[in-house]
Amino acid sequence: MPKIVGIDLGTTNSLVAFVEAGQPVVITSAEGSELVPSIVGFSKSGERLVGDLAKRQAISNPERTTTIISIKRHMGTDFKAQIDDKVYTPQEISAMILQKMKADAEAFLGEAVEKAVITVPAYFNDSERQATKDAGTIAGLEVVRIINEPTAAAIAYGLDKQQELLKILVFDLGGGTFDVSVLEIGEGTYQVISTCGDMRLGGDDWDQRIMDYLVDEFKKQNSIDLRIDRVAMQRLKDAAEQAKKELSTETATTVNLPFLAADASGPKHLEMELTRARFEELTKDLVERLKGPFDKALADSGLRLGQIQKVILVGGCTRMPMVQAFAKKISGKEPTRDVDPDKVVSMGAAIQGGVLAGEVKDMVLLDVTSLSMGIETAGGVFTRIIERNSQIPISKQKVFTTAADGQTTVEVHVLQGERDLAAHNRSLGRFELKNIPPSPKGIPQIEVAFEIDANGILNVSARDRATNNKQKITIQSPTNLTPEEIDRMVKEAQTYQEEDAKLKVERQARTLADQEIESAEKLLREHGSRFATDKLQRVRDVIERLRAVLEALDEERTIEYTKVLKGLVYNLSSEMYAQPAEPEAAPMSGGAPPPGVSDSGDEEILSWFQK
Ligand code: AMP
C-alpha cells in the first residue's frame, strides 16, 4: 500500500513522518537529523541548499543575502524572494523544503512518496492553506489533506485514548510563533473549538535576549560593538540558541566563542557564564506575553478553566522550564508532554495520513472556521452563511432574490468577519451572476452556496434556479489574517454589537421602505384608474409620510408606515385580482421575504441582493 506521509511544514523546522505498524515514526534526514531547518539558501555557485546545509552556509557565509528563512510567514501573500537575478514566490520556496522532505522520506523508506498530509496553523486562512497545497503540488506531492497543527498534536496524543471525550488545550511555542488552541477529542473525533496566538513570539525572541546580553557584556569588557560584525553576530546567534537549549536541563551554562573579534591589542574571545536564573530574568516579559493568547483562546472556547481536562505542550520551546511552569500556573494543570514536542505535529499528520491510506481506522476529523463567512445584501448588510467556529468540511446555502424590477445581474460579494455591516468586514472576493431573465423584483430565486472543504478552502457559487445558470469562485484572498487580526475583528464585533445591530435594522428598514414606495407608485401609475379616489389618496398620503419619516431618520415610524403601505398595496392588488386577502406585512428583522416571493419551505431565509 503506498504510504501517505505527514509533513509538519514549520516556520523554523520541518519534519516528515509515516506510520509503521500503526505507530508514527519520524524520518531522519540525509544529514542525520529529524528536524530539518525550514531554510533555503543558494551557494556561491548557484547550487540550491535546503535545511541544515542552508543553515550552515548562513553561519559560515553571512555576507550572502541569499538565505531565506521563515517563508511560512509569507504564505498566501504576494511576497517575492529575490535570489540573484530570479524571484520566487513563497509557494516555490516552500516547495523546495517539501521536495527535500519528499526526497528524504523516499530515501528512508526505499519507495516513491507521492501523497502527503501537511499541517498548517489553525488560524491559516483560505489563501494561506491554498498556497500550502500549491507548494505541495509544485514539489510533486498530492496533498490529500491539510490539517491544523493543534489537531495533529491531539491526534498524536489521542490515538490510544479514544474512548473518552476530552477538552484539551494545546500550547504551542515554536521557533517563531505561539499558538493556543482548545480542542475536544475522543470517540474518534477531533474538533478545534477556538484558537488564538501571537505570530511574532517564539524561541528566536529568547535567543535574541541572550545575544543582546552577550553583546552588551562584551562591549562593557572590551569596548567593541559586535552588532556591526555580521560574522560575529551569526556565531553569537547560534551560540545563544545552544545556551537556551542547555538551560532547559542545566542551571548554568558557559558560552564560549574564541576569536570573536579583534582590536589593536589582539584577538578577543567571548567566555561568559549564563545561569538559568539570569536567563529567566532576561526573558520574564516574553513569558508574560504568553498569557494574552491563552486567556483569549479560553474565553473564545466558552469553557471555564476547570472544564479543560488536559494541557498539551507542543513546540521545542516548551522544553524551557520557565514555559512549562508558566503553562502550569495559568492553566492550573500539570501539562502533558509524553510525546516529543518537536515531533508531535508531524506524528499526528502521519497518523492522519495512515487513516486516509486505510492503515489506521476509525477516526473522523472535525476542524472549525475561525470567522463567519457570508455575503453583502441590500443596504450593505452582512448576511452570514457560515457561522464562526462551524465545523469543517461544511456546505451551506441560502436563497436570495433581486432588489429591483427587471434586474438581470446580481453581485455576490463574499466577506469574512463578525460585524453586521459588510463595510466593517473583510472582503474575500466578488463575482457577478448575469443573464437573469428580467422579472419583477423578488421573483428570481438565486441560490448561494458556501462550501468549505476539509482543507479549509472556500468555494462560493450562485445559481439561478429558473435557468440553472451558475457562477462560482474559489476564494484566493490577497491578504493575510493573523491571529491578532482575527482577535481584533471578534473584539470589535463585540464592542460594536449593539450599534451594528441597530444600524443593520435601520438599513434593512430603509431598503424595505424604498422598495415598498417603488411598488406602490408602480401600482398607482399602472392601475391607478381602477381604484376609488379615496383609496388612492390614502396610498399617496402614506407614501408621503413614509418619505418624511425616512428623511427624518425615524426608524420606528419607517417600519410602521412601511407596514401600513404594504397592507394598502396588498389590499389594492387583492381587490384588483379579487384574491383572498392576507395583508399582514412580513417582519423585517428576520430577513423575511420581500413581497411577491414565496418561501419554498426548505430554506431558512430569503433576502435580497444589493442593486
Ligand atoms: P519548533 O518550531 O517547534 O521546531 O521549535 C523550535 C524552537 O524550539 C527553536 O527556537 C529551538 O531553539 C527551540 N528548542 C528546541 N529544543 C529546545 C530546548 N531543549 N530548550 C529550549 N528551546 C528549545
The closest residue, in CA terms, to atom 21 on ligand 1 is 245
More confident residue, 442 or 368: 442
- Cβ atoms of residues 422 and 381 within 8 Å: yes
Ligand 1 mean position, distance from CA 214 (Å): 20
- What is the reported pLDDT for 603? 37
Nearest CA to ligand 1 atom 15: 316
SS3 167: strand
The answer to whether the CB of 248 is under 6 A from ligand 1 is yes
Residue 164, CA distances (Å) to 193, 306, 538 in order: 17, 17, 68
Residue to mutate, 245, 250, 280, ligand 1, most ligand atoms under 8 Å from C-beta: 245
317 lines ligand 1 (CB under 6 A): yes
In percent, how much of the chain has pLDDT > 90? 50
Residues ≥6 apart with Cβ < 8 Å to 301: 167, 182, 193, 194
Name the residue of 69, 283, 317, 343 whose CB sits within 8 Å of the most ligand 1 atoms, as the mutation to test its pocket.
Answer: 317
For each of the domains in the chain, give its residue range(s) and CATH number, in order of start. Answer: 4-201+289-367 (3.30.420.40), 203-286 (3.90.640.10), 373-495 (2.60.34.10), 497-580 (1.20.1270)
> Of all residues in the chain, what percent carry a pLDDT higher than 70?
89
pLDDT computed for residue 593 by the predictor: 32
Q: Given the CA of residue 172, which atom of ligand 1 is nearest to it?
A: 3
194 contacts 390 by C-beta, under 8 angstroms: no
How many angstroms separate the CA atoms of 193 and 188, rounded?
16
Amino acid identity of residue 473, one-letter, is I
Segment 540-554 mean pLDDT: 90
Q: Is the CB of 10 under 6 A from ligand 1?
A: yes
Cβ distance 271 to 256 under 8 Å? yes
C-alpha 546: how far from chain center = 44
Higher pLDDT, 466 or 117: 117
pLDDT tens digits, one per residue of 314-353: 999 999 999 999 999 999 999 988 889 999 999 999 999 9
Q: Is the CB of 210 under 6 A from ligand 1?
A: no
Cell of 476: 484566493
Ligand 1 atom with the shortest distance to the CA of 342:
3
* Interval 234-244: pLDDT, tens: 899 999 999 99
Are the CB atoms for 495 and 164 separated by under 8 Å? no
| Tens-digit pLDDT profile for residues 559-609 | 889 989 988 888 887 777 664 433 333 222 223 333 322 223 333 333 444
Indicate which residue's Cα is closest to atom 18 of ligand 1.
Answer: 245
Q: Is the CB of 12 within 6 Å of ligand 1? A: yes
Look at residue 423 and tell me whether its pLDDT is greater than 70.
yes
Looking at ligand 1, which residue's alpha carbon is closest to its atom 22? 317
Q: Tell me, what's the pLDDT at 586?
A: 27
E strands, 112-265, are 115-120, 142-148, 166-173, 178-186, 189-198, 252-263
pLDDT at 414: 92
8 C-beta neighbours (distance < 10 Å), count: 32
Q: Are strands 606-608 and 394-401 parallel, antiparallel or unpaired?
A: parallel
Nearest-10 Cα torsion for 465, 470, 474, 478? -100
Query: CA-to-CA distance for 406 and 70, rounded, in angstroms?
Result: 53
Contact between residue 236 and residue 213 where contact means Cβ atoms under 8 Å apart: no
Residues known to be catalytic: 8, 72, 149, 172
User: Ligand 1 centre and the CA of 272: distance in Å?
Assistant: 22
Q: Give the residues across from 184 on adjacent strands.
A: 167, 191
Q: Is any atom of ligand 1 closer than 6 Å to the C-beta of 318?
A: no
| Region class of 360: left (phi > 0), else alpha (psi between -120 and 50), else beta | beta
Lowest mean pLDDT among 205-219, 354-368, 572-586: 572-586
For β-strands 13-20 and 4-9, DSSP reports them as antiparallel
Atom 20, ligand 1: residue with shortest CA distance: 245
Distance from the alpha carbon of residue 421 to the mean position of ligand 1, in angstroms: 43
CA-based nearest residue to 164, from 348, 312, 310 = 310
**Mean pLDDT in residue range 532-557:** 89
Distance CA 588, CA 600 (A): 18
Measured at the CA of 372, the angle between CA 166 and CA 398, to 5 degrees, comes to 115
Distance between CA atoms of residues 346 and 252, nearest Å: 32
Q: Which of 26, 342, 347 to mutate to test the pocket of ligand 1 (most atoms within 8 A of CB)?
A: 342
In Å, what is the CA distance from 241 to each residue of 1, 210, 254, 272, 289? 41, 8, 12, 15, 20
HSE at residue 350, side-chain half, CA atoms within 13 A, is 22
C-alpha distances in Å from residue 530, one per residue of 147, 571, 577, 583, 590: 66, 13, 11, 20, 35
